[in-house]
Amino acid sequence: MSKPYFNKYPDGLVPVIIQDQTTGKVLMLGYMNEEAYGQTINDEKVVFFSRERQKLWTKGETSSNFLFVKEIHLDCDKDCLLIKVNPAGPVCHTGSDTCFGESNSNNNFLITLEKVIQQRKLQAVPGSYVSSLFSKGINKIAQKVGEEAVELVIEAKDNDIELFKNEAADLLFHYLVLLRAKGLEINDITQILKSRHSKESGE
């Protein structure tokens, strides 16, 4: 992708629209100069140029509510950016989900659960089971996925559907934790499945 025309405006800044990749909600508006743009690409976290403080600032550097970059799009005039992100928490400094006072909720509970898991990884919470898993490392998390998979197989051979559903929920939960430990989310896996489906159906 070509760079924005940073020299189009006297201050060298271009407006940046931040959108949640999953929900489609517009989260905030910020500004970038060329240095902030380059750092955003390198860090895969949104970095703005603060017009008030006249310096770069990484969104979430004090709150840990980072904006993890998923897609970057340049408008037709090359003087505005749309960045689709996975937010680690509320975006607005007031504590709201967005800077426009809107809720950024999602009807897909798996997405909501992923966000909670991500927050627990970024900022440990005392007494949190998820935080304790991350503190024990990838081997322990992978081990738990294996244990839950075995338990699900065992329940599949019996006729107690409620126990089976609970074991399936346990496996799915720990699988989401494992994905996050590897820096992935369910959408990354969904894209692979979509690709395989397209090849199978000849689309």
Map out the domains of the chain as residue ranges: 6-87, 109-201
Nearest Cα to Cα of residue 31 among 9, 62, 60, 1: 9
Packing angle of the helix pair 138-156, 129-136 (nearest 10 deg): 120
The backbone region for 60, taken as left when phi is positive above 0, alpha when psi lies in -120 to 50, beta otherwise, is left
Between residues 182 and 21, which one has the greater pLDDT? 182
Binned at pLDDT 50, 70 and 90, residue 203 comes out as low
In the block, residue with structure tokens 């970057």: 72
User: pTM for this structure?
Assistant: 0.62
Q: What type of residue is 121?
A: K
The tens digit of pLDDT for each residue in 54-99 reads 999 999 999 999 999 999 999 999 999 999 998 998 999 999 999 9
What CATH number is given for 6-87 in this structure? 3.10.20.810
**What angle (nearest 5°) sits at the alpha carbon of residue 127, between those of residues 126 and 128?**
95
**CATH of the structural domain 109-201, one choice from 3.30.1540.10, 3.40.50.620, 3.30.365.10, 1.10.287.1080:** 1.10.287.1080
